[in-house]
Amino acid sequence: MKKKFFYIMAAVALLISGCETIDVEPDPDSLLSKATLSANKLAVLEDGGSLEITVTLSVASANNVAVELAYSGGATFDVDYSVGTNIMIPAGSLSGSVTLTTTDDSEEEGLEKIDVSIKAITGASKGEVTSISINLEDDDVAATVQLLLNEILYDPSNSGLNGDANGDGTYAQAQDEFIELINMSAQALDLSGYKVFDTENLTINTPNHTFPDGTIIQPGKCIIVFGGGTPTGSFGGSTVQTSTSGDMNLNNAGDELIIQDADGKEILRFDIEPLSNNPNESYTRNPDLTGDFEQHSNNHTTLFSPGTKTDGSAF
């Protein structure tokens, strides 16, 4: 009888042990920090230029993170520029960098591209931004105009002061519209005599705005043009102007923004039609300078950020 009882208890124990839950270890890759690539500027002069290329982690890792970078583009590695190919981010740190330096020569090569990407990574995984493009500007030829539209507001909210983009304490559709332009060159840009049009005003050759003499934008810096009003605030230290016509006249659909240089050559065109869903806020690049346009509140709590990056920091 004792032997029979022993067998029964052993069977019960085996049955219980067979039903025990086995803890499954989570996929290690799901816990890895995400690595993002950036540079402190996206244009560099051939004559003694330099910049920092940085890999930033979303969270610090308990172990060293090794990143291998790849370089391509029109500029030639170790001829037009020199830079390290490996970044080691120490355990507990959030970022690591390498310095890119340019090599001066007398050849007229014009504007060349340096494309940088994360080729391989150990100890973390790739984030959303894993490649960037840098302009290498030849000092032996005339500078190429590199003017970027980073943010545009053509449909301010009419709910209270939610549309008061120029900060003067009053909402006015025509006055609170704005464009935010960045000088992406490594050299200062003289906008004197440049003209801004919308489609309607271009047909009659009447600028919505003409940049006055002495409008100089330093490398990597920003200029904002509001429709009107009395812009009030620091706007990240950016240059601020109001349209010389008193109205940017940017429609919510079926319109384009056109910028011409002082000689009438078109240097920028932005088609509003694909983004004409009456957003009641601005459209901005995400990430700033390099990303695609999206509605400002998609990833931020504000409806616009004239003169600053979307996180409020200065250019």
Ordered strands of the 95-102 beta sheet: 81-82, 95-102, 50-57, 34-39, 125-126
Query: Quick one: CATH architecture of 147-298?
Result: Sandwich (2.60)
pLDDT of residue 48: 83
Residue pair 307/222 in contact (Cβ under 8 Å)? The answer is yes
Structure tokens at 281: 């806020």
Closest CA to 178 of 265, 267, 308: 308
How many Å apart are CA 189 and CA 170, to the nearest integer? 32
Query: Does the pLDDT of residue 16 top 50, yes or no?
Result: no
Lowest-confidence region among 48-52, 192-196, 238-242, 306-310: 48-52
Which amino acid is located at 232 in the chain? T
pLDDT of residue 110: 87
Name the pLDDT band for 164 (thresholds 50, 70, 90).
very high
Q: What are the C-alpha distances in Å from 215 to residues 25, 61, 62, 233? A: 61, 46, 50, 20
Report pTM. Answer: 0.83
- Rounded percentage of the chain residues whose pLDDT exceeds 70: 90
**Mean pLDDT calculated for residue range 192-202:** 98
Burial class (CB in 10 A: 0-12, 13-18, 19+), 160: exposed
- Rounded percentage of the chain residues whose pLDDT exceeds 90: 83
Tallying the residues shown for the chain, one arrives at 315
The contacts of residue 265 (CB under 8 Å, 6+ apart) are none
CATH 2.60.40.2030 domain residues, the chain: 30-137
Residue pair 129/287 in contact (Cβ under 8 Å)? The answer is yes
Name the pLDDT band for 144 (thresholds 50, 70, 90).
confident
pLDDT of residue 11: 44
In sequence order, what are the beta bridge partners of 120?
Answer: 68
**Rg of the chain taking only CA atoms, in angstroms:** 27
φ and ψ at residue 171, rounded to 5 degrees = -90, 125
Containing 28, the helix (H) or strand (E) segment is: helix 28-31
pLDDT of residue 225: 98
Question: What is the number of other CB atoms lying within 10 angstroms of the CB of residue 159?
Answer: 10
Mean pLDDT of the chain: 91
Name the pLDDT band for 278 (thresholds 50, 70, 90).
confident
Name the pLDDT band for 105 (thresholds 50, 70, 90).
confident
pLDDT of residue 276: 85
The contacts of residue 154 (CB under 8 Å, 6+ apart) are 177, 248, 250, 251, 252, 255, 272
In sequence order, what are the beta bridge partners of 268?
Answer: 259
Name the pLDDT band for 31 (thresholds 50, 70, 90).
low
CATH 2.60.40.1260 domain residues, the chain: 147-298
User: Residue 11 in 3-state DSSP?
Assistant: helix
pLDDT of residue 24: 44
Q: Taking the mean position of all CA atoms in its chain, how far away is CA 158? A: 28
Which amino acid is located at 271 in the chain? D
Q: Express each pLDDT in 37-80 by its tens digit.
A: 999 999 999 988 999 999 999 999 999 999 999 999 999 999 99
CATH class of the structural domain 30-137: mainly beta
**Mean pLDDT calculated for residue range 262-277:** 95
pLDDT of residue 139: 79
φ and ψ at residue 109, rounded to 5 degrees = -105, -10
Name the pLDDT band for 13 (thresholds 50, 70, 90).
very low
pLDDT of residue 140: 78
Query: Does the pLDDT of residue 134 top 70, yes or no?
Result: yes
